[in-house]
Structures are given as structure tokens and as C-alpha cells.
A and B are shown apart, each in its own frame.
Chain A
Amino acid sequence: EAQVTQNPRYLITVTGKKLTVTCSQNMNHEYMSWYRQDPGLGLRQIYYSMNVEVTDKGDVPEGYKVSRKEKRNFPLILESPSPNQTSLYFCASSLSSPGDQPQHFGDGTRLSIL
């Protein structure tokens, strides 16, 4: 089954404790992206990757890191999480640029930073 898998689905942690949210897709998609979703603000793009070893900042990259060492994986790293990063996070992938192809989304990761 074609899917985007995120882990964990839920996480409660404390300020400053490094965490990684994993994202994996099995569709051989070139493009992968991370979003955060906050009430009233919709989905905001954090980082995206057009291909292996190619990453670029979205609209809200501060406080986040990503890497794309393999085509299928695109982890999101919070080196020193803060309470303002409490949010619902989505990973998404598409065959090519999302301007040319629709994205497939994971089920989301709800992060609470205390």
C-alpha cells in the first residue's frame, strides 16, 4: 500500500531535549516536505527536499533541521525544542514538485513541548 509513515504519532517532551520525528515513503517520490499545522494558520511549510542531499527552507524553518540521505526518508530534527514548537506536524511526498503533482500526507505527529 502506498503510504507516508510518520513516527511517533504522539510525543510529550520537555524543553531542550533533542528529538527526531521520522518520515518514510514507499512511492519512490522525489519531493518530500514537512509542515506544521496550528489553529487559524493552516499548514506552514518548514523544509522541503527536491531530491537526495537537496534540502531547502520553507516559510518557518527556525528551530528545525532536516536531512535527506536516502530517497525514502526525510527526518525532522528539533535540536533544542521549545514550547512554541508545540504543534501538529505533517510529512508529505509527491512524485515531483507539488506545483505539478498532488502530495500524499502522513497521518501527523502531535508534539507537546513542556
Chain B
Amino acid sequence: EDKVVQSPLSLVVHEGDTVTLNCSYEVTNFRSLLWYKQEKKAPTFLFMLTSSGIEKKSGRLSSILDKKELFSILNITATQTGDSAVYLCAVGGGTSYDKVIFGPGTSLSVIP
């Protein structure tokens, strides 16, 4: 059965801290791993990773994929209150090749 696991499930940090969110997966026909940020409403896209070892960066956020060990991390440096959200990890692929499997999400709260 395809599955995506995220840890921790929730996290509370102070502004300025650095956080690392983890995502591990067991998905047949792996195509890519994607990170989304969900605030009050719709998830919004952060990164898509397809190759191992290549870091993707956007401002204070970065992510990397390890296809051998089947995991990815999302790093956020110098956290701000606006980073408070649920971070979703998703893997494209699955038994029919065109599905997408989401993890349960990591709820991040950044306090001043």
C-alpha cells in the first residue's frame, strides 16, 4: 500500500528558529515529491523534487530529496510568524501512475 509519512505532526518554535520537517514515503511508480503550504484555505505549491541530492531553494525555504532512502526534508531558516501553517508532503505516482498520495501534514506554529 502506498503511504507517505511526515514528522513531526506538530511543532511550536520561536521566531528566528530554524526548523526541519521530514517526509518519508513508500510509493510505487514514484514520479516526484511535492511540498505544499496550507494556511487557512487552499494548499499552495512550494517545491517539486524529482532527482536526489539537488537542493531547491526559495528565500528562507529549501528542500532536498533522497530517492535511495525514500525521504525528503523541508528546511525553514529564520522563521517568521507568517510561516505558521500546515506543510503537506505529496508523492506523485502510485499504482495507476497518475495518482498523488499526501502525508498527514506537519502543523508549524511560530510564536513571537
Contacts and interface: CB of A to CB of B under 8 A. Distances in A.
B108 to A, nearest CB: 15
B101 to A, nearest CB: 7
B25 to A, nearest CB: 12
The dominant DSSP class at the B interface is strand
A42 B98 contact: no
B32 A42 contact: no
A98 to B, nearest CB: 4
Q: How large is the interface on A (under 10, 10 to 19, 20 to 34, 35 or more residues)?
A: 20 to 34
Contacts of A58: 99
A7 interface: no
Interface residues of B, number: 26
Interface stretch (A20-28, A62-70, A76-84, A100-108): A100-108
23 contacts: A35-B102, A42-B4, A42-B88, A43-B90, A48-B98, A50-B98, A90-B42, A97-B98, A98-B34, A98-B90, A98-B92, A98-B100, A99-B92, A100-B31, A100-B32, A100-B92, A102-B45, A103-B43, A103-B45, A105-B44, A107-B41, A107-B42, A108-B42
Interface of A: 4, 31, 33, 35, 40-45, 48, 50, 56, 58-59, 90, 97-108
Interface of B: 4, 9, 31-32, 34, 36, 41-45, 48, 88, 90, 92-93, 96-105
